[in-house]
Amino acid sequence: MGNQVRHLLSAADLSGEEISFLLDTASALKRKPQPLLKGKHLALLFEKPSLRTRVSFEIGIHHLGGTAMSLNANEVGLGEREAIRDVSRVLARYVDIVAVRTFGQAIVEEYAEFSSIPVINALTNEEHPCQALADILTLKEKWGDLRGRSIAFVGDGNNVAASLILTAASLGMDTRMAAPKGYGLPEWLVSEASARAASSGGKLTLVTDPRAAIRGAEAVYTDVWTSMGQEREAERRRIDFAGFQLNSDLMSGAALGAFVMHDLPAHRGEEITDEVIESPGSIIFDQAENRVWAQAAAVAFLLGVAHQVER
Ligand code: CP
Ligand code: NVA
């Protein structure tokens, strides 16, 4: 409410420079964890299931000397037992930063509007910025310089795709995406990502043919066709995403030795085959590991202590 607190609700909340700084911070913390968050407390308020996000936040904050607590969303009843604005203001009296996993982006926006402490989007229907930071950190570890490197996202224009495309386009990458007609990214995001690609020296290519997106790509990324909360559409989606399965045949069009990426959980045999998940180019578990460091860096950044990290 009119305060200057920084939140991370969308990948678009960070400039390209800030993303680069955050990635450097994450690498430094991974090399050498430092007790920057001593006496700081993180609350996790999750309204959807999670393995990676929850555990990696808790472990990441512990690595930096802080504490984390996970709240049972059913007990809290965000917007049901209690108004969002009241939950937000109460938690801000107890802890220093909060990560929220919920349904619509509007919920996390309303939560942040009333929060005097930083709020991190730990996944909404629309975005998953923590995932994108970990994904790009993983590529940075492999490649060093990201500029001009190509990444193709093949599948649903969902939360994971949205944050990934924004982040890659901000860093001068050759960013490609193929989604079936009707499953593309929202318009505002396409304009924002195009503007970011133009100013970072990157490229943004949006197509409906997965082969066209993958051609010569150095990293190929996919995610589930049916996200949490869309279970009733699963059958329809299996039909609409025909030809989008990341299998050896589709991967054969990518660059030699291309990396395979997935945020997990995967619906094995649906959007991606076992063979591709287990292939030598798969960096899927490195992505999962890097959630710890990308998020620790994001927490340090939002709490204004990232500049204290020894690099
Ligand atoms: N990738 C990811 O966010 O995993 P969880 O849903 O298990 O947290
Ligand atoms: N798109 C997936 C990502 C899970 C981490 C979902 O929202 O279910």
Within-domain flag for 63: yes
Q: Locate the ligand 2 atom nearest the alpha carbon of residue 230 and give its number.
A: 8
Specify whether 114 is located in the same domain as 137. no
Specify whether 27 is located in the same domain as 143. no
113-134 mean pLDDT: 98
- Domain extent, residue 163, equals 131-288
Within-domain flag for 135: yes
> What is the domain-level CATH number for residue 118?
3.40.50.1370
**CB distance 156 to ligand 1 below 6 Å:** no
**Exposure of 282 by Cβ count < 10 A (0-12 exposed, 13-18 middle, 19+ buried)?**
middle
Within-domain flag for 4: no
Specify whether 180 is located in the same domain as 297. no
Specify whether 170 is located in the same domain as 279. yes
The pLDDT of residue 75: 86
Within-domain flag for 5: no
What is the number of structural domains in the chain?
Answer: 2
How many A from CA of 199 to the centre of ligand 1?
A: 31
Structure confidence by residue, pLDDT tens digits, 56-99: 999 999 999 999 999 988 889 999 999 999 999 999 999 999 99
The pLDDT of residue 73: 83
Distance of CA 223 to the CA centre of its chain: 12
Structure confidence by residue, pLDDT tens digits, 159-213: 999 999 999 999 999 999 999 999 999 999 999 999 999 999 999 999 999 999 9
Ligand 2-lining residues (CB < 6 angstroms): 123, 158-160, 223-224, 227-228, 263
Within-domain flag for 88: yes
Within-domain flag for 22: yes
Alpha carbons 237 and 269: distance in angstroms, whole number: 14
Specify whether 227 is located in the same domain as 267. yes
Specify whether 87 is located in the same domain as 226. no
What does pLDDT average to over the chain? 97
Residue 30 pLDDT exceeds 50: yes
Q: With bands split at pLDDT 50, 70 and 90, how would you rate the model's confidence at 4?
A: confident
Q: Locate the ligand 2 atom nearest the alpha carbon of residue 53 and give its number.
A: 5
Within-domain flag for 6: no
Specify whether 154 is located in the same domain as 280. yes
Going by C-alpha positions, the residue among 143, 149, 142 that lies closest to residue 176 is: 149
Alpha carbons 199 and 261: distance in angstroms, whole number: 26
| Atom 4 of ligand 1, residue of closest alpha carbon | 52
The pLDDT of residue 2: 46
Specify whether 186 is located in the same domain as 141. yes
Residue 1 pLDDT exceeds 60: no
Long-range contacts from 194-200, C-beta under 8 angstroms, 24+ separation: 194/169, 196/16, 196/166, 196/169, 196/170, 197/169, 197/172, 199/16, 200/16, 200/147, 200/169, 200/170, 200/171, 200/172
Tokens 């917007």 locate to: 79
Residue 3 pLDDT exceeds 80: no
Which ligand number lies closest to the CA of residue 231? 2
Residue 238 pLDDT exceeds 70: yes
Specify whether 137 is located in the same domain as 250. yes
Specify whether 205 is located in the same domain as 113. no
Q: With bands split at pLDDT 50, 70 and 90, how would you rate the model's confidence at 108?
A: very high
Sign of the CA dihedral 3, 6, 9, 12? Answer: positive
| Atom 3 of ligand 1, residue of closest alpha carbon | 53
Within-domain flag for 38: yes
**CB distance 101 to ligand 1 below 6 Å:** no
- Give backbone dihedrals phi and psi of 158, rounded to 5 degrees, phi first: -95, -165
The pLDDT of residue 58: 98
Specify whether 258 is located in the same domain as 194. yes
The pLDDT of residue 278: 98
Specify whether 160 is located in the same domain as 276. yes
